[in-house]
Amino acid sequence: MEQKTFDPDGVGVATGSYFGLPFDPETAALVLISAPWDVTVSYGAGTACGPDAIIEASTQLDFYEPLAPDFWRRGIATADVDYTLQEQSQRLRSDAERVIDHLEGGGTLEEDGVVRRLRRVNEGCRAMNANIEAQAAHWLERGRIVGLVGGDHSTPYGLLRALGRRHASFGILHVDAHRDLRRAYEGFEYSHASIMYNVLRDVPQVNRLVQVAVRDFSAREAALAASDERIVSFEDLELAGGRFRGETWEAQCRRIVGTLPDDVYVSFDIDGLSFDNCPHTGTPVCGGLSFNEAVWLLRTLVDSGRRIIGFDVVEVCPAPGERLDAITGARILWKLCSLTLKSQDSSNR
Ligand SMILES: [Mn+2]
């Protein structure tokens, strides 16, 4: 392995791995798996290209990390990207687009051609979930921590299933503009807009879902959030309002973290940030967290002694000639990797 010759102070070299790091998944503490997939995206496809764009942007990053100095040295490895997922995503995307166009034209889900297309999409999404679950289980069985880079927000379902098989219980810190609590959005059973509904239904080990910066959701989603005891909401405007009245973000972060159990999965939808950080994401929404606010929240989580048992960064949508989205994704990914490794350290607890 090239690890011995790797110079963290040198020029970032494109090696096809996240951050250009030379670690072998067989020995690294943390393995990143990729899900180049965006079949059910409602508006503005392209997150299937997220992993490649983040890999490229991440080689520009320097390795000094004040919040978790040198923890990257425990190893952040890149599992081989399964590009058959991206090919399948492209094939199913046209089926999904026809369904969405049909619905937007006032059609129903019951018509013949639509039923067939929906079935193909739903079967394809189930196969993607199985693929990601198998990849995640493979590395978890070897004692690795697993992070996932999407793709749209449907993609971490398999990782969460795999974690459910290995942990008695855990919470999810969910940073997102959306609640993703829709049941079968647009007929798609495994839609990006349904991820948390599906996880709460299918992964009983998840005993807490803490939604932060949510600001665009349906009345039914709000009602579900209010009635399900596992769900705690920190709506974007409420958080902003608290700060207008003088509550500090530091205090709000402590309040948010205080609702989580000891073991936490972080699901980071890039659209939880303000859209200047992610102008091309599928469904950008006004408001949201600044980059530093998000990092402070993650820092507060780890400083509280809680352990990050896995994470995802999703909905990063690169656009031609526009690197900002991928740069933000790479920076959030780096903070999550470093802080996750720190949170595993016994001296942190
Ligand atoms: Mn989402």
Q: What is the CATH number of domain 2-348?
A: 3.40.800.10
Q: Retrieve residue 190's tokens.
A: 């495994």
Q: How far is the CA of 178 from the centre of ligand 1 (A)?
A: 6
Alpha-carbon dihedral of residues 331, 337, 338, 343, nearest 10 degrees?
140
Banded pLDDT at 1 (limits 50, 70, 90): very low
Q: Retrieve residue 49's tokens.
A: 């290209």
pLDDT at site 114:
87
pLDDT at site 349:
76
Q: Retrieve residue 79's tokens.
A: 């599992």
Banded pLDDT at 111 (limits 50, 70, 90): confident
Question: What distance in Å separates the CA atoms of residue 75 and residue 331, rounded to the nearest whole number?
Answer: 17
Domain ranges of the chain: 2-348
Q: How far is the CA of 11 from the centre of ligand 1 (A)?
A: 34
User: Residues near 306 by Cβ (< 8 Å), separated by ≥ 6?
Assistant: 257, 260, 261, 262, 263, 264, 343
335: left (phi over 0), alpha (psi -120 to 50) or beta: alpha
Q: How far is the CA of 154 from the centre of ligand 1 (A)?
A: 8
Q: How far is the CA of 175 from the centre of ligand 1 (A)?
A: 8
Q: How far is the CA of 210 from the centre of ligand 1 (A)?
A: 13
In the predicted model, is pLDDT for residue 176 greater than 60?
yes
Collect contacts of 88-94 with beta carbons under 8 A, ≥24 apart: 88/37, 88/124, 88/127, 88/128, 89/36, 89/37, 89/38, 89/39, 89/48, 89/128, 90/48, 91/124, 92/39, 92/120, 92/121, 92/124, 92/125, 93/38, 93/39, 93/45
Angle at 55 between CA 58 and CA 66, to 5 degrees: 30
Q: How far is the CA of 211 from the centre of ligand 1 (A)?
A: 10
Helix (H) or strand (E) holding 242, with range, is helix 236-244
pLDDT at site 87:
95
Question: What distance in Å separates the CA atoms of residue 134 and residue 123, rounded to the nearest whole number?
Answer: 17
Q: How far is the CA of 192 from the centre of ligand 1 (A)?
A: 6
Q: How far is the CA of 282 from the centre of ligand 1 (A)?
A: 10
**Residue showing tokens 């929240």:** 297
Residue type at 212? Answer: V
Banded pLDDT at 4 (limits 50, 70, 90): low
Closest CA to 16 of 107, 80, 70, 69: 80
Tell me how far the alpha carbon of residue 326 is from its chain's centroid: 14
Q: How far is the CA of 283 from the centre of ligand 1 (A)?
A: 9
Average model confidence (pLDDT) across the chain: 94
Q: How far is the CA of 270 from the centre of ligand 1 (A)?
A: 8
User: Residues near 320 by Cβ (< 8 Å), separated by ≥ 6?
Assistant: none
Q: How far is the CA of 83 from the centre of ligand 1 (A)?
A: 22
Q: What CA–CA distances, in Å, run from 179 to 103, 214, 232?
A: 22, 6, 11
In the predicted model, is pLDDT for residue 2 greater than 60?
no
Q: Which of 45-49, 118-122, 140-144, 329-333 has the lowest mean pLDDT?
A: 45-49
Banded pLDDT at 43 (limits 50, 70, 90): low
203 contacts 160 by C-beta, under 8 angstroms: yes
In the predicted model, is pLDDT for residue 261 greater than 60?
yes
Kindly report the pTM of this predicted structure. 0.96
Q: Retrieve residue 335's tokens.
A: 């903070």
For the segment 315-329, the average pLDDT, to the nearest whole number, is 93
Banded pLDDT at 307 (limits 50, 70, 90): very high
